[in-house]
Amino acid sequence: MTNETQPSLPALRPSADTVDSLLRVLDLEPLADNRYRGVSPHTAWGRVYGGQVLAQAMIAASRTVGEDRPAHSLHGYFLLGGDPMLPIDYEVDRVRDGGSFATRRVTAIQRGAPIFEMISSFHKLEDGFCHGSNMPQTPPPEEVATAAALFARPDAKVPDAMRAYYGRARPIDLRFVDTARYFGDWDQPPYQRFWLKTKGALPDGQALHSAILAYASDFAMIDTALIPHGKIMFDPKMQLASLDHALWVHAPFRADDWLLYVLESPAAGRGRAFARGAFYTRDGVLVASVAQEGLVRERSTAFVIK
């Protein structure tokens, strides 16, 4: 691990509004063998988006593994909130290279301290038994409003900060299917669906597409746990943070084609909430599964963890 103080790099920070900008965020700078550096885009958030760290860590790990072994799983822990004004260094430990599987450990570092730890596994492509759960019946993305159009509606009961967030240009097209709570009907289960894809074509390569899916997979997981409690993640009274994240990739896919993300939260309590999700192609193939636990507190009762 490095102990030097990392300089801020505001001139190198890309925007966060186009697919090209997302690709620049994921194009890590090689520093040395098994060590890479990433930067964060300009956003209104005061900390680094967790999905960005997941995606950059996946890219770092993938660069040390052959293309014939795509990532099939990752398990990560968010240790500290990242500072978006500082670069993030990713150190890769080549834990094992076997006949079929390769294992990598990645540590994300800022100010000489780890902010994220991940272990990931890569599997040589092979044939085998195949089945997958059925995708729930869902309107196609062409029949679902964009997030910007949804939250621009005058009857949407959402904070101004949420309208502004979804009104800005962004690299991923989000289309929420289950929207009743945004119009005052809070009697809903902890469940939601939305369509997503990048707003432009992506280069080939499963490593990149898996990294972008990891980037998107962190979005709205904790928010799903808030639904039955009449809260949303833009509520200033809530203190929310991802604690850990797991992702399994079951089949090849493209992140520039429509994917349906189905989320549910089976349990919450003691200041934590658990959520799990599934990604389906528009023709119903289950391509990835996700699980996450997050911190969920009301700020009036929050205390600081050091």
How far is residue 254's CA from residue 212's CA, in Å, rounded to a whole number? 9
Query: Which tokens belong to 106?
Result: 């990645």
Answer yes or no: 73 catalytic: no
Q: Which of 218, 223, 265, 289 is catalytic?
A: 218
For residues 101 and 165, what is the distance between their CA atoms, to the nearest angstrom? 41
Residues 52, 206, 210, 292: which is the catalytic one?
292
Beta strand 259-269 pairing with 272-281:
antiparallel
Identify whether 218 is a catalytic site residue. yes
Catalytic residue among 21, 62, 242, 289: 242
3-state secondary structure the chain: CCCCCCCCCHHHCCCCCCHHHHHHHHCCEEEECCEEEECCCCCCCCCCCHHHHHHHHHHHHHCCCCCCCCEEEEEEEECCCCCCCCCEEEEEEEEEECCCEEEEEEEEEECCEEEEEEEEEEECCCCCCCCCCCCCCCCCHHHCCCHHHHHHCCCCCCCHHHHHHHHCCCCEEEEECCCHHHHCCCCCCCEEEEEEEECCCCCCCHHHHHHHHHHHHCCCHHHHHHHHHCCCCCCCCEEEEEEEEEEEECCCCCCCCCEEEEEEEEEEECCEEEEEEEEEECCCCEEEEEEEEEEEEEHHHCCCCC
Residues classed as catalytic: 218, 242, 292
